[in-house]
Amino acid sequence: MSLWKHGWKVCLCLLLGGAALAEEAPPASLTFFGLYGTPVQPLGLAAAVTNGFGLNILGEWNPSYYVSLGLSYERVGFYGSEGFTYPALNFESRFFPLQNGKGRFSPYLYGGAGLGLSTGSAPVLKAGIGSRVSISGPWFFDLAAGSHWVQSPDNFQYVDFRVGLSYFIGYTPPPPTPTPTPVPTVTLPSAVPSPTPTVNVTSTPVTLIVTATPTVTPVVIPGAVTTLAQGLRYYRKGIKAYGVENFRLSLIYLKKSLELRAKRKHASYYAQAYAYIGAIYQFHAHTVKDHLQKALDNYKKALAVDRKNKIARKYYRKLKAQVARMAKPKPGLTPVPTSESVPPTTSSVPTAVPSSPAQAITLSN
């Protein structure tokens, strides 16, 4: 019974640790495991029963990227001269020191306590280590090794290995990290006098090819957002458009998803929607007037809803300093004459050159 008492303490520590590190994460996940186990205690049972095979179905709630809480059903059949089947219903918790699903590998510690469903209803404790491995999007490969301690009246211990597949419900891909555009270095050759070319003028027919300019069909979104389900639907469409680099459409959908905030003050996706809008204005809307200030305002709104939002925290402080430096007048510079006193010339008008095709887009303010 001492193991039983200590097991509940371990689960409680994992729960409190997850609450302390809480931040926005995919709300739930579902994992299907295949199990292999072999008894190690008592020695008589270990000699009579060698192998056990079974399954484990685990549903989890993720209050943060560091911890998960779940309920599982597992059933293991042991084979040998004294073969038997042990089914159990368990409460489980996992702790992810490197954050769940944030990288390719997500190692974890797990622990749990449950109740056997066979005759006698013996309580059981379980603990072990494992890791999730990212496959694609919301799909993860999951493998672990651990041990089960079945209490009185059964009183036996078996080690187990489990391999499974996990699916995250409500998974949102992280925004791609923008890469700076390299500035080409131009080397001017030294001036070498060249002979005057002789031009022979010949009459060459010119063929003029006229192509029709495609007409951009505007995106029309009818009606106002009145329910949380509608807002969440537009938010997911905006994230999907961002993933395929359709930033104009992503901005429209994300702004539409925030219409409900005037009536419903709190929703789980508000902070992330503001953060994505800020990223669009900062990195993909260079032709929009005051695009950096608009990005800064949206990052600030995201942090007002959730001060731990990853995207806003990553870019807000640096962008704020950049905007402040741009607004500060440089000492010792002569004021530039206005267009009213000096007419513009061709050499004084800069030519806008987008840094990349993905950034050369036109967005509404």
Q: Which CATH class is domain 228-327?
A: mainly alpha
Comparison of pLDDT for 178 and 39, the residue scoring more: 39
* Cα–Cα distance measured from residue 106 to residue 100, given in angstroms and rounded to the nearest whole number: 6
Q: What is the pLDDT of residues 32-84, one digit of tens each?
A: 999 999 888 888 777 777 788 999 999 999 888 899 999 999 999 888 777 77
- 139: pLDDT strictly greater than 60: yes
% of the chain surpassing 90 pLDDT: 41
Give per-residue burial for 184-202: e unless 16+ CB within 10 Å, then b. eeeeeeeeeeeeeeeeeee
Q: Rounded CA gap, 258 and 251, in Å?
A: 11
DSSP E strand stretches across the chain = 28-41, 49-61, 67-80, 84-95, 105-116, 123-136, 139-150, 156-169
Let me know the angle formed at the C-alpha of 167 by 161 and 168, rounded to the nearest 5 degrees. 125
Tokens of 79: 């084979």
Instruction: Give residue-wise pLDDT tens across range 197-214.
Output: 555 555 555 554 545 555
For domain 2-169, the CATH architecture is Beta Barrel (2.40)
pTM of the entire structure? 0.46
Return the closest-CA partner of residue 296 out of 272, 318, 329.
318
Q: Are 55 and 35 in contact (CB under 8 A)?
A: yes
Q: Where are the domains of the chain?
A: 2-169, 228-327
